[in-house]
Structures are given as C-alpha cells and as structure tokens.
Amino acid sequence: MPVLKFDEIPYEAVRKGLQRKIIHEKELMTVLLDFTDGPWEEKEPPHHHPHEQTSYIAKGEIIFYCEDEPDQHLKEGDMFVVPSGKMHTIKLLTKEARLVDSFTPLRRDFLEK
C-alpha cells in the first residue's frame, strides 16, 4: 500500500514557483501542488486532459476558469471539479497556494521523467 509521509518524500520541481508531491494507485492519483510565485497578473494558459479531476484549495486564493462555466473565486476549504476534456485553468490571487488535485485515471504524463 503506497504511503507518502510529507517530511520523508522530497518535492518534485515542476517550474520556478511550483513544486509537487504525488501518490497513486492503479487508476487514481493525488497530487499536492505548492505555488510560491503569486499573485499572478494573468491566468495560466488553459489546458485540457481526458482525466476527471477534483481539486481542494488547502491554502490561498485562486480564480478557477472552466470552459462554459462562470469564473469562480475560491479560497481555502473550497473545491472544484473538472470534467474530462474541459478547458480549464487558474489564476493565483495570493503569494502562496496549496492545491490537492485528484485524477482518474492516472496522469501518466506526471510520472514520466
């Protein structure tokens, strides 16, 4: 059974200002994302993927943008869902933010080094 102990697993650098930790099973993945480069003037470029996604805002504030949906100002404790194939993105409103994303099936692209 996979276990991720926060203090024992190093972060993976995704880009400057963004690092992550990943845990997964065969068809479910949870990704801890720590942003430290906010607030942003602009939103990130929108993207889509075939995975279903849920996200929990554990720290900070964001604006969540999802195709054909009203923009959502979200803060610590809020959650959102991204259906498969929908264009979506975020804009960081605070200096730091922590998001906990879950995906099914696995984001194999996140596991490729």
Task: Please report whether residue 61 resides in a domain.
Answer: yes
pLDDT of residue 102: 98
Residue 62 maps to a domain: yes
Split at pLDDT 50, 70, 90, the class of 112 is: confident
The CATH number assigned to the domain holding 25 equals 2.60.120.10
SS3 of residue 109 by DSSP: helix
Mean pLDDT to the nearest integer, 88-102:
98
Predicted pLDDT at 21: 97
* Residue 25 pLDDT: 93
Predicted model pTM? 0.93
85 domain residue, yes or no:
yes
Which among 9, 18, 43, 29 is positioned nearest to 97, based on CA atoms? Answer: 18
> What local confidence, expressed as pLDDT, does residue 113 receive?
65
In a domain, 8, yes or no: no
Structural contact between residues 75 and 97, judged by C-beta atoms closer than 8 angstroms = no
Q: How far apart are CA 10 and CA 13, in angstroms?
A: 9
At 61-76, the pLDDT tens digits run: 999 999 999 999 999 9
- In a domain, residue 15? The reply is no
Residue 13 domain-assigned (yes or no)? no
Q: Are 94 and 17 in contact (CB under 8 A)?
A: no
Q: Cα separation of 32 and 22, whole Å?
A: 6
Confidence of residue 4 (pLDDT cuts 50, 70, 90): confident
Domain count, the chain: 1
- Residue span of the structural domain in which 29 resides: 20-102
Residue 12 lies in a domain: no
Burial environment of residue 82 by CB neighbours within 10 A (0 to 12, 13 to 18, 19 or more): buried
3-state SS assignment for residue 108: helix
Average pLDDT value for residue range 21-35: 96
- The pLDDT of 29-35, averaged and rounded, is 97
Residue 57's pLDDT band (boundaries 50, 70, 90)? very high
Confirm whether 91 is domain-assigned. yes
Q: Pairing state of beta strands 88-92 and 29-35?
A: unpaired
